[in-house]
């Protein structure tokens, strides 16, 4: 429930366009015969830098020099600005229903009551830890491994957050995702994933570097501080034991690289296999408490981690597990406990891990919490106010052009066999694209919201989401379901659904603006759409057929050519070093890098398809220059060093500046900016990666 942490799934089939710190605002002075919102920040360009030397710095250098990261953010850029604008709009919509006398039980009333309860700091403070006491009592009542398993089972939650689906860390022992079976996408199956750590990744526990050693010391102090706030006795000794347990858990975890490998993750276990393959945890008690007692089959994404964590349940002292559960209960619920708990959580997760000096205003956290609990109900209000039918129609037209352009690119591949092309085209034709908002809105009638009960509201919202997901089991798969709310500034491709979501909130300036020349829209939102289409054919998405089944539809020769292109891209990104001691991981970021390259190329082709005559010049910029500058400026962002290091270690997306430099793989970029062989970004034609 804490606002400064996200429980997000590490599973490649989600394939999110992860923009954890998305690019910043673009504005410009009016130009003759061009609308004022031309969408290119001419003042932000640093013309002292040659485009071929560093295109990101050329497009954004002056902005980078003159922009400060707000104190409540780990980074700032276009996405952060759009996110702030969206939050302000959403906040006003929520406040309106919070102050209105909406009918009891209506979604408007639930939205208003949830928000108002979260904002009631005095009421939360007055209750102290009383709302958490039933949980603490259950932990205190643990007397053996059987009751321990039962309590661990009650912590299982539907830990999906598609804002950044290539990351996963949950403070519960395991994470749960209910999604399509990769072998048979017509049915749902529960996915079980590694979890249980307070820090973002196993590297924070096992990396011997001095920086990580210092962070581990700060984490032990943080654990002690949280326990002390709850007046737990002997906090230093207990904090040391909790940390040591988490260190052993981290050693059992699978690596990030292995965890994004769909073939390694797609492990079907029957219920009985858990007892033999992962002994230690009383699985019967665990699954019964989690509401999965009758489930016959699971997908275990990191088998060695599940086995290792289960063994620790049996081998580690019972009292250590009880202390661990107390700490994680306090940490998990910090946002709706007295202020000191939230402040302590932010001091570590926000400041130590991400370098953010100041905690976000409470109203911003209240908007996040309300969106998390009643996201599509809030989304209905948002799209009614801010996403007109004309905007939806324009984006849908761009999507059609992108898909047509991608189809032509498939047709023109000289290395792909006709049979493979036919299957690729069939997958493209079956792609379901959602623009703005879902076809059907989610029903929140079963969620109880009580004004003045912030803790209870958050707890009931989590359980509502868990039960909603468990309710999918045994039901037909709904390809129209969205995994993002309309007010989310992001986009996602879901290979197992063969579907994409483009929420309304990302469809606004500077990503999308119906008032500006099309070249700019195709360079910004068009590249994002192309990116998501391309995810259906990246190194992970290409393993799924038109139905979403995990199935090889490539000839060996075609697959070898595709993998060779991927290897070139891995090498290209491995060469980027944001810090002397830390380089980008080309293998970890490969899926996103493939989607960036192929998506940008498809967006350029789609723009060409859209033209009915000569494209207009804007402020002396050709249409191609507008296209590429809009792309590079859509990636402008500044990130604090700790947050950037965290991203490089665990995120499947390369830092924004290198994503902007994707342009070096497109021949037309060289012509548009007269790039010379002597310049740093220059790639010989044979070294430019052409995936699709």
Helix, strand counts (H, E) of the chain = 28, 10
Decide if 25-66+388-436+512-633+655-687 and 145-333 have a common fold: no
What is the per-residue pLDDT for 47? 96
Question: How far is the C-alpha of 293 from the C-alpha of 272, rounded, in Å?
Answer: 12
What is the per-residue pLDDT for 38? 52
- Which residue do the tokens 């932990």 mark? 139
Global confidence as pTM: 0.88
- Whether CATH 3.90.420.10 fits 25-66+388-436+512-633+655-687: no
Summarised one tens digit per residue, pLDDT across range 236-273 is 999 999 999 999 999 999 988 888 888 899 999 999 99
Taking the CA of residue 554 as centre, how many other CA atoms within 13 Å lie in the half-sphere pointing to its CB?
20
**Domain 145-333, what architecture?**
Orthogonal Bundle (1.10)
What is the per-residue pLDDT for 170? 66
Q: Is 231 left (phi over 0), alpha (psi -120 to 50) or beta?
A: left
What is the per-residue pLDDT for 362? 97
Q: Domain extents for the chain?
A: 25-66+388-436+512-633+655-687, 145-333
pLDDT beneath 70: ranges in the chain = 1-38, 159-170
Q: What secondary structure does DSSP assign to 558-583, as a single string?
A: HHHHHHHHHHHHHHHHHT--SBTTB-
Residues 6+ apart with CB under 8 A from 527: 596, 599, 600, 603, 631, 634
Using CA atoms of 529, 533, 539, 544 in order, give the dihedral in degrees to the nearest 10: 150
């Amino acid at each position: 429930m804490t606002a400064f942490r996200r429980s997000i799934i590490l599973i490649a089939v989600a394939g999110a366009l992860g923009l954890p710190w998305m690019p910043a605002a673009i504005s410009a002075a009016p130009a003759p015969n061009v609308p004022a919102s031309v969408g290119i920040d001419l003042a932000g360009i640093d013309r002292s830098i040659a485009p071929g030397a560093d295109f990101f710095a050329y497009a954004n250098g002056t902005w980078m020099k003159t922009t400060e990261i707000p104190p409540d953010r780990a980074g700032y850029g276009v996405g952060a600005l759009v996110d702030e604008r969206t939050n302000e709009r959403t906040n006003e919509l929520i406040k309106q229903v919070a102050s209105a006398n909406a009918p009891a039980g209506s979604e408007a009333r639930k939205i208003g009551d949830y928000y108002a309860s979260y904002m009631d700091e005095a009421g939360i403070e007055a209750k102290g830890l009383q709302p958490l006491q039933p949980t603490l009592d259950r932990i205190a009542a643990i007397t053996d491994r059987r009751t321990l398993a039962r309590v661990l089972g009650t912590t299982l939650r539907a830990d999906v957050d598609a804002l950044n689906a290539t990351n996963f860390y949950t403070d519960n022992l395991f994470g749960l995702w209910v999604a399509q079976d990769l072998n048979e996408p017509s049915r749902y199956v529960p996915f079980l994933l590694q979890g249980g750590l307070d820090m973002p990744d196993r590297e924070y526990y096992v990396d011997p570097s001095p920086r990580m050693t210092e962070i581990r010391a700060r984490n032990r102090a943080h654990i002690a501080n949280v326990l002390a706030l709850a007046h737990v006795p002997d906090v230093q000794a207990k904090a040391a034991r909790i940390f040591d347990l988490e260190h052993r858990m981290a050693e059992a975890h699978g690596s990030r690289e292995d965890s994004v490998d769909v073939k390694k993750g797609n492990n079907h276990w029957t219920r009985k296999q858990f007892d033999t393959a992962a002994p230690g945890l009383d699985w019967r008690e665990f699954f019964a408490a989690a509401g999965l007692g009758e489930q016959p089959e699971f997908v275990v994404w990191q088998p060695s981690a599940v086995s290792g964590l289960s063994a620790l349940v049996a081998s580690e002292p019972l009292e250590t597990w009880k202390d661990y559960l107390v700490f994680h209960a306090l940490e998990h619920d910090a946002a709706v406990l007295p202020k000191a708990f939230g402040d302590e959580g932010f001091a570590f997760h926000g400041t130590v891990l991400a370098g953010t000096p100041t905690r976000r205003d409470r109203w911003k956290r209240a908007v996040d919490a309300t969106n998390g609990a009643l996201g599509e109900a809030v989304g209905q209000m948002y799209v009614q106010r801010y996403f007109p039918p004309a905007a939806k129609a324009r984006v849908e037209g761009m999507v059609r052009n992108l898909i047509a352009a991608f189809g032509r690119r498939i047709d023109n591949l000289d290395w792909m066999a006709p049979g493979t092309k036919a299957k690729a085209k069939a997958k493209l034709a079956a792609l379901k694209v959602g623009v703005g908002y879902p076809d059907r809105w989610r029903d929140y009638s079963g969620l109880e919201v009580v004004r003045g009960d912030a803790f209870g509201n958050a707890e009931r919202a989590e359980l509502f989401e868990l039960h909603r997901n468990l309710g999918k089991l045994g039901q037909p798969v709904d390809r129209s379901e969205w995994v993002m709310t309309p007010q989310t500034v992001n986009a996602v491709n879901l290979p197992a659904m063969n579907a994409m979501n483009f929420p309304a909130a990302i469809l606004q300036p500077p990503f999308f603006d119906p008032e500006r020349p099309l070249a700019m829209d195709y360079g910004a939102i068009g590249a994002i759409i192309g990116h998501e289409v391309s995810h259906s054919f990246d190194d992970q998405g290409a393993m799924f057929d038109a139905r979403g089944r995990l199935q090889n539809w490539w000839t060996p020769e075609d697959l070898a050519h595709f993998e060779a292109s991927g290897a070139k891209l891995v090498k290209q990104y491995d060469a980027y070093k944001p810090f002397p001691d830390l380089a980008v991981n080309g293998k970890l970021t490969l899926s996103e890098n493939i989607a960036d390259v192929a998506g940008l190329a498809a967006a350029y082709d789609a723009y060409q398809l859209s033209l009915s005559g000569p494209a207009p010049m804007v402020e002396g910029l050709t249409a191609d220059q507008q296209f590429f500058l809009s792309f590079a400026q859509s990636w402008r962002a500044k990130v604090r060093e700790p947050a950037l290091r965290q991203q490089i270690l665990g995120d499947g997306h390369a830092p924004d500046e290198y994503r902007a430099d994707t342009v070096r793989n497109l021949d037309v970029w060289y012509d548009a900016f007269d790039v010379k062989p002597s310049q740093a970004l220059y790639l010989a034609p044979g070294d430019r990666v052409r995936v699709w």
